């Protein structure tokens, strides 16, 4: 398992949102609003060549125009652009990214899929990827809402990790009504790179977390996951949805699109 560069995912000093938008129904619109309204104190850089400014912030035309390499990049652009953006970000020095765009395995790139091309582009730079198809993550104590959820989360000591963004959104609703907060809230999506083993290993050493709750549909690397379970100190609980139920892609289920 590896927690390498996960610090930039949860506690970034700068965030670039690539695919930021003002159009209703766009993932980039909701994600930018969540970042701006969550109380995040670091540098926030929207990226989209169609805009000069968004929500009162300067909007950059491309990654190369950013004032520095963002510690965290959030991508919500069309599938064909993802691998190239990951390569460009990695070359600039970014080491953590959330890919909200879903279905990359269904699109071809060269001799494989866009998903394969994305991972190959990240590998030389040790750039860690949450997703693809991730709704995002929240670190409430840091004011970071790097997601396109319709509701935020209060601060607490429970870390919640789910593969399904739809289940994650339902848990946020449930927790909000009961005044339950979270230290970290993560929707993994497809888990092409960062998986349950990596997150469990990181959260076990997270001073902000006293308990870990996992909602699992499947485990990609059982050996790594079991090793992380044996090494984790906080109490943890795992739940699985019914076998008859299959989680829809969060973006498709909610009507959001890239």
The pLDDT assigned to 191 comes to: 94
CB 128 within 8 A of CB 188: no
222-231 and 196-204 are packed helices; what angle lies between their axes, rounded to 10 degrees? Answer: 10
Residue 255, domain member (yes or no) = no
Residue 251, domain member (yes or no) = no
Q: Is a pLDDT exceeding 80 seen at residue 222?
A: no
The pLDDT assigned to 148 comes to: 98
User: DSSP letters of 179-201?
Assistant: T--EEEEEE-TT-SSS-HHHHHH
Give the pLDDT mean for 131-152.
97
What is the distance between the alpha carbons of residues 75 and 152, in angstroms, rounded to a whole number? 20
Do 176 and 207 fall within a single domain? yes
Question: pTM, whole model, 2 decimals?
Answer: 0.89
pLDDT digits (tens, 9 = 90+) for 44-77: 999 999 999 999 999 999 999 999 999 999 999 9
Question: How many domains would you assign to the chain?
Answer: 2
Locate all alpha helices (DSSP H) within 40-138, ordered by sequence.
79-92, 114-122
Do 166 and 72 fall within a single domain? no
Do 109 and 192 fall within a single domain? no
Q: How confident is the model at residue 257 (pLDDT cuts 50, 70, 90)?
A: confident
What is the distance between the alpha carbons of residues 147 and 12, in angstroms, rounded to a whole number? 14
Q: Is a pLDDT exceeding 60 seen at residue 203?
A: yes
The pLDDT assigned to 1 comes to: 43
């Amino acid at each position: 398992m590896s927690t390498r560069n996960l610090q930039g995912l949860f506690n970034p000093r700068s965030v670039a949102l690539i695919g930021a938008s003002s159009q209703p129904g766009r993932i980039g619109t909701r994600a930018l609003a969540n970042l701006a309204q969550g109380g995040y104190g670091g540098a926030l850089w929207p990226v989209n060549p169609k805009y000069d400014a968004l929500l009162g912030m300067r909007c950059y035309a491309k990654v190369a125009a950013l004032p520095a390499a963002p510690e965290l990049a959030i991508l919500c652009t069309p599938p064909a652009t993802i691998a190239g953006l990951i390569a460009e970000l990695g070359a600039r020095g970014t080491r953590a990214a959330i890919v909200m765009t879903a279905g990359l395995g269904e699109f071809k790139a060269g001799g494989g899929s866009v998903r394969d091309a994305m991972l190959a582009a990240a590998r030389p730079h040790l750039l860690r990827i949450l997703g693809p198809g991730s709704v995002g993550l929240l670190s409430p104590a840091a004011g970071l809402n790097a997601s396109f959820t319709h509701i935020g989360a209060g601060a607490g000591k429970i870390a919640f990790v789910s593969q399904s963004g739809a289940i994650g959104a339902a848990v946020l609703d449930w927790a909000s009504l009961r005044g339950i907060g979270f230290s970290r809230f993560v929707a993994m999506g497809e888990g092409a790179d960062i998986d349950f083993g990596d997150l469990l290993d990181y959260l076990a050493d997270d001073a902000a977390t006293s308990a870990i709750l996992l909602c699992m549909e499947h485990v990609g690397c059982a050996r790594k996951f079991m090793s992380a379970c044996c090494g984790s100190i906080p109490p943890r609980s795992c739940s699985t949805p019914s076998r008859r139920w299959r989680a829809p892609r969060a973006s498709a289920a909610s009507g959001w699109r890239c």
